[in-house]
Amino acid sequence: MNILLIDDEEDIRQIFEFCLMSVKKVTCIEASSGNEAISIIKAKKDEIDLIICDFNMGDGNGEDVYRYLLDNNIDIPYVLASSHHPSKFKIFDNQCLLFFNFLKPEITPHIEEMFLAYDKLKNKRHDAVEQNQDYLPLNIHFINKIGAAPCDLFIKVSETNMVKIHKEGDLFDEKEKYKQKKITHLYIDKKDVSKIFSFITNSLQEMFENKNLSSEDKINSFYQFLGSTVRQFPFTEDYQKVTGTVLGYITEIMKKDPPEKLLNLANGSNYNTGHSLIISLFSIQIAKELNLTDKSIEKKMTVASLLHDISISDLCDDERIYNNLVIEEKHTREVNLAKIKTHPIDSAKFATTLKDMPPDIDKIIAEHHELPGGRGFPRKLTEKQISQLSAIFIVAHHITECLYDLREKKEEIKWSSILEKTTSEKFFGSHFKRILEILPNLEPFA
């Protein structure tokens, strides 16, 4: 059992740890402030079983921690350890996570009582899960994106009771209402999952055939679908089928529109959408300049670009992951670095589940963060171990990051500026040497 202990006084944390361990075998994770605790929760929320928290602390107090749990729908039992009763603090009017409190300095006499309360709560939740096993949560944002209730939608009114709140076919535009009530999910009957995918498939086809939508709008919508749907139905067979449809639509659009037009995606779309499409455009241009004649290269690069970060789409909608994994401090607080380090392999595994995919796509994805000299990740391959198509993709990835850097700094986007950052010191040997030789010929911004 893992317990997060939050108190700005070290001796109090030590007393708590001693008392807890004298009653039950536990592992204590310590935090000296609310903000430090929030950072720990972000990184380890799935590993924390219980939170014991002081209220009055500098740099984030007990209210900040409790509010973070509520706002982010993190269901970890919260124990208040304070010299005041919870009724003194307005935040605890919502007691959905508060299940016990210690009135300092009386700690020791109530430790066993707290553990008994925790075991009782755990058993109750287990029973509730068993009773609700026929329902699946559906994120409000996801329902809002598809614009209608593809099947009956239910709201959970207690641990054991569901009430139908939207009928199949109802328009759905109530995101703000649910947001104000801090409701993040509605529920569907498990038997209705196929209805959702049927609804989505028809909506995607209508969007693809809609002549009033621009190519950029269509691609943005399709890619956002890939990210939001994988969070709801992670890599299920239904998701794999619809992903194949989406990739086909995007590939078809890219064949019809010139690269210069789609480069505009870097200016208006979210980071994931824009950078994926731009990587594919540069990859295809580099391959053509290298006189590679394989007719399937365009599809390989397009699909690889769209799927290379699919396993972490829930972690970094608008985050940027750099080749050398030197991630800015603000990003390290937001993302799970362990998952990021393995995401090339995880995304590649998903690619292998899709039907009718040409070979090499999984290899490109698995190697997209590798660098010459073994400086990349996850496998630290050398330049001789990185395949030619992967090398093309890696350089295109780097060029795309340079493009975004220039845009963020509001500097003029010049091909010469990007070439200055794409040097033989960074990309050397084997396939990379030839790629660097032909880059000056591209001039995509001329």
By DSSP bridging, strand 162-166 and strand 153-156 are antiparallel
Question: According to the model, what pLDDT value does residue 51 have?
Answer: 93
Phi, psi angles (nearest 5°) of residue 181: -90, 5
The token pair that represents 408 in the structure block: 């963020």
Strand-pair partners of 138? 186
Tell me how far apart the alpha carbons of residues 300 and 343 are, in angstroms, rounded to a whole number. Answer: 19
pLDDT averaged over the chain? 81
Q: What is the mean pLDDT of residues 315-331?
A: 44
CB 74 within 8 A of CB 49: no
Residue-wise pLDDT for 231-259, tens only, equals 566 556 777 777 778 878 877 877 776 55
Domain segments of the chain as ranges: 2-130, 135-192, 213-441
Contacts of 202 (CB under 8 A, 6+ apart): none
pLDDT, position 235: 58
Using an 8 Å Cβ cutoff, are 143 and 153 in contact? Answer: yes
User: Is residue 126 predicted with pLDDT exceeding 70?
Assistant: no
- Rounded to the nearest angstrom, the gap between the alpha carbon of residue 36 and the centroid of all alpha carbons in its chain is 22
pLDDT confidence tier of residue 44, bands split at 50, 70 and 90? confident
Q: Render pLDDT for 178-224 as a digit per residue (tens, 0 to 9).
A: 877 778 788 888 888 888 888 878 888 888 888 888 877 787 777 76
pLDDT tens for 151-179 read: 899 888 766 678 888 888 888 877 778 87
* Cα 42–chain centre separation: 12
pLDDT tens for 269-305 read: 556 667 887 888 889 889 999 999 887 888 899 889 8
40 pLDDT tier (thresholds 50, 70, 90):
very high
> Is 117 in contact with 50 (CB distance < 8 Å)?
no
pLDDT of residue 283: 92
The predicted structure's pLDDT at residue 332: 41
| pTM confidence score | 0.57
d(CA 177, CA 60): 29
Q: What pLDDT score was predicted for residue 198? A: 85
Give CA–CA dist 212/359, Å, rounded.
35
Nearest to 3 by CA among 88, 162, 115: 115
Q: Residue 315's pLDDT is what?
A: 55
The answer to whether the CB of 370 falls within 8 A of the CB of 376 is yes
Average pLDDT over residues 131-142: 72
Q: How far apart are CA 285 and CA 260, in angstroms?
A: 11
CA–CA separation, 62 vs 57, rounded Å?
Answer: 7
The pLDDT, as a whole number, for residue 141 is 73
Residue 281 CA to residue 444 CA, distance in Å, equals 10
Say if CB 113 and CB 106 are below 8 A apart.
no
- The CATH number that domain 213-441 falls under is 1.10.3210.10
- The predicted pLDDT at position 324 comes to 41
The CATH architecture assigned to 2-130 reads: 3-Layer(aba) Sandwich (3.40)
Q: How far lies 149's CA from each of 78, 195, 209, 274, in Å?
A: 34, 10, 22, 29
Burial of 68 (0-12, 13-18, 19+ CB in 10 A): middle
* C-alpha 104: how far from chain center: 40
Look at residue 131 in the predicted model and tell me its pLDDT.
Answer: 47
Which pLDDT value is given to residue 272? 62
